[in-house]
Amino acid sequence: MNPIEPAAPTPETAAPALAAADHAALAAQAEAAAEAEAAAEAGLPQASGAAAGAGAAAAGGAAVAEAAGAGAAAGAGDAAGAGAAAAGGAAVAEAAGAVVAGAALAGAVAAGSGADGAAGVLALEAEERRKRRRLTLVLALLLILITLLTLVSAWYLIFRRPLTDLLPPTSQNAPPTYLFSIYDASKPVSVAVSGAGDRVYVAQTAGDRLVAIFDGSGHELGDLQPPADNLPHTPANVAVDPRDGDVYVSDRATGAIYVYSSNGSYLRMFEPKVPIPGWQPLGVALSPTGSWWITDLSAPYHRIEVFAQDGTLTATIGAAGMFDFPNMIAFDATGNAYVTDSNNGRLVILDPAGQVLATVGRGAAPGNLGLPRGVATDPTGRLYVVDATGQLVHLYRAGTSADWRPVFINEFGSEGIGNGQFSFPNGIAVDSRYRVYVTDRENDRVQVWGY
Amino acid sequence: MRRLALLLAGGALWLLLAAAPALADNGPHHQGASPITDGCSGCHRAHTGQNPGLLTNAQTSLCFTCHGTTGTGATTDVQDGVQYAPITTSQVTTTTRTGSGTTYAGALRGGGFDKAVIDSSLTGAGSTGANAGKVGSLTQFALTTSKHSVDLAGTAWGAGDISSTADAGASVTLTCASCHDPHGNGRYRVLKPTPDNAYTGAYTGITPSQSFMSNVNIGDVSAYVYTTTDYWHPEDSNSTGSTSYIANVSAWCASCHTRYLAGATSGSNASGDAIFSYRHTTTGNSFAGNASTAPTCVQCHVAHGSNAAVGTNSAAVPLPGSSAARGANSSLLRIDNRGVCQKCHHK
């Protein structure tokens, strides 16, 4: 037999227990009645209630004792104990009657606990404490929930974006899906976006030929006005300095890079400290170490120049014949650079010192390139390369030290004018929300993709 | 069997050699001297092309991807009429810009389709305007006032035979490849020897008696160094010689503008044409900058677009075969109004 199971009552043991319980209950009733009479003589106001309670408790004890006799779980000893406790004294009976203020509950406590009256009170207090703790816990959870909901609501009201925007892609191999387009862009060739995605800068090469500023929903906020120097300005590539939000715009025709504040005010020109004759900057990107990498199409050959923040030329990458119209540059977290060597039809991967690690070129295999132009990396280190004549975007996973060649994992887009289709895509940018912005030049729009 | 094998081998060799000319030129879509056949798929589809010429994309958009306004893939921007520094700094038009001191590109000699930067002003009676009509340093774009429109139907003025029945010319729609061979062909500016839409009639009554159906070969020099001065200008050493651009370009233009080709006495002898009756000579191959020598087409006109202004009298001149005034249409002239006349006649 399991030692923790109580012994089942038998008719032989239950009969004397019933008799004892009945006797104890009658004794308690008699004693309580006597005390009630005494109290009434003394003029105590609670006398009748106390007597009633005591009587009720005694009756309860008798009732439970009967239940025990009918084979209830409570043992005969317990029932007898309950009767004895009820008969134990008027004070205890009074206390029981005052606390529970009900005959049935008093009887249940007295019989069910199987303890004496003091133990029953303690059990009640413990139960009350448990209830309070549970209530406190529920209230705390509700408070936390309300706080979270308030924060989410505030975030939504401020940014007008669903919470899923903050979540990383569910699969590292999955391409983004088309979300919406930013129209009112005239022959856009490049795009840059603030980290939070609340400012989108689009270089337009037709119309007013300015860099237009849009908010994250595609509403135009203004544009970047170059200095009034009577020169033929045409923005080529745009980059955002994540440190202060300044916007850098290259202009090959005027041989300059113009710098604007995040709100669109013209600040200054970024210039080589020692002028470079015929400087023709095109691609602009900030390395993780804070140096500016700029593709230069001027004589004697196309190359990448690395500048300190003050314009000091610190390195030149690319010998004669290496690059043919290098267009854009992106960096990964390790500082490796990805350069679209456009007219050579390849992507060149460079280490932070400018040494070639690998290339991705033309060919028939998935991920091979035609006319690569825009390039960007996302927060998980994935690489996006725009193929302007392929009318799509290639998606790669960064290589490793074992093989730095990026691993093709997917592609998205096709030729056309519908949603998710391109007509000569060119520039690309990715924000911290994994939103992918692609300039769709001949369709006069910027497509926004996401996960 | 052996004969068949030899035949197949010979055929393969022939195909290889036949393909070589298309790939040998250092044209814009081939890198260096090595043919990269994968480049074909950048523009063409053998069976699933969506545009004429088996092209994947509309031709003009395809060309502007490199030759468009930002110059992201070429030294020539044909939309804005910009010629970026081709090879060496010595070929860059130097202009000092305040605050930078750097130099930048010059202007494209043929102008641009949307904008051009031609110095079109010529002021003062008798002035030769040393720079007038030249394409000089890049200062500020100006919208074109006339152009060879692409992808739009227009009139090929003077196309056709000399005829007593008034006919200004055929309606044609030009594309970039109407005049240029994107695969490269070893000729100046990869111009096609015979442009598309060339007149294919009998060429009756045309003087001088030139065979227009023959290819017009305009020589080029190697390595993209076309000319370093204004080839159309009298001082340009490249303007002479039997294979020079100047010696051949009028015949090339006349492939379409047939009745504009006129010999030395055409100004005083009626051609018999209802519209193009008395015509300025256009068959010169030298240009001394005076009235005794004959100009060529490109000494007065540009190929892509011009920003020349049109004054009141010039604007009132009707288009050929029409009574309506031309308005702001500058007829691709290099100099405002009729400044090109002054360049030689000094009136």
pLDDT tens digits for range A114-169: 556 788 888 999 999 999 999 999 999 999 999 998 988 887 777 666 666 666 67
Ranges A18-22, A26-30, B179-183, B235-239: which has the least confidence: B235-239
Q: What total of structural domains would you count in chain B?
A: 1
Q: pLDDT confidence of B224, banded at 50, 70, 90?
A: very low
CB contacts of B138 in chain A (<8 Å) are: 232, 253
What pLDDT does residue B5 have? 63
CB contacts of B117 in chain A (<8 Å) are: 232
Q: Give the tokens for residue A178.
A: 């088309």
Centroid of chain to Cα A330: 26
* Domain presence at residue B179: yes
Q: pLDDT confidence of A7, banded at 50, 70, 90?
A: very low
Q: Report ipTM for this prediction.
A: 0.75
pLDDT at residue A219 above 80?
A: yes
Task: Pick the more confident residue, A149 or A51.
Answer: A149
* Domain presence at residue B215: yes
* Domain presence at residue B53: no
* Domain presence at residue B347: no
pLDDT at residue B65 above 90?
A: yes
What pLDDT does residue A115 have? 55
pLDDT at residue B282 above 90?
A: no
pLDDT at residue B110 above 50?
A: yes
3-state secondary structure of A63: helix
Q: Chain B contact for A299, CB < 8 A? A: yes
pLDDT at residue A6 above 70?
A: no
Q: Chain A contact for B88, CB < 8 A? A: yes
* Domain presence at residue B327: no
* Domain presence at residue B331: no
Task: Pick the more confident residue, A222 or B136.
Answer: A222
Read off the pLDDT of each residue in B139-151 and give the average, rounded to a whole number: 87
Phi then psi dihedrals of residue A368, to 5 deg: -70, 160
Task: Pick the more confident residue, A162 or A433.
Answer: A433
What pLDDT does residue B194 have? 79
A255 and B104 within 8 Å at the Cβ level: the answer is: yes
CA distance B255 to B235: 27
Range of B176's domain?
149-302
pTM attached to this predicted model = 0.72
Q: What is the mean pLDDT of chain A?
A: 80
- In contact, B54 and B46? CB cutoff 8 Å: yes
Question: With the CA atoms of B264, B269, B274 and B276 taken in that order, what torsion angle do they form, in degrees rounded to the nearest 10?
Answer: 20
Q: Chain B contact for A297, CB < 8 A? A: yes
* B-interface mutation test, from A208, A274, A280, most B Cβ less than 10 A away: A280
Q: Chain A contact for B54, CB < 8 A? A: no
Pick the most confident of A354-368, B199-213, B292-306: A354-368
CA distance B121 to A230: 18
Q: pLDDT confidence of B134, banded at 50, 70, 90?
A: low
Q: Minimal Cα–Cα distance from B97 to chain A, Å?
A: 9
Phi then psi dihedrals of residue A331, to 5 deg: -120, 150
* Domain presence at residue B181: yes
CB contacts of B38 in chain A (<8 Å) are: 345, 362-364, 368
* Domain presence at residue B295: yes
The CB density around residue A164, as the number of other CB atoms within 10 Å, is 11
Task: Pick the more confident residue, B106 or A48.
Answer: B106
> H or E element: which one contains B224?
none
Q: Minimal CA–CA distance to B260: which of B289, B291, B295?
A: B295
Q: What residue ranges define each of the domains in chain A, with the CATH number in brackets?
A: 11-114 (no CATH), 176-450 (2.120.10.30)
What pLDDT does residue A445 have? 98
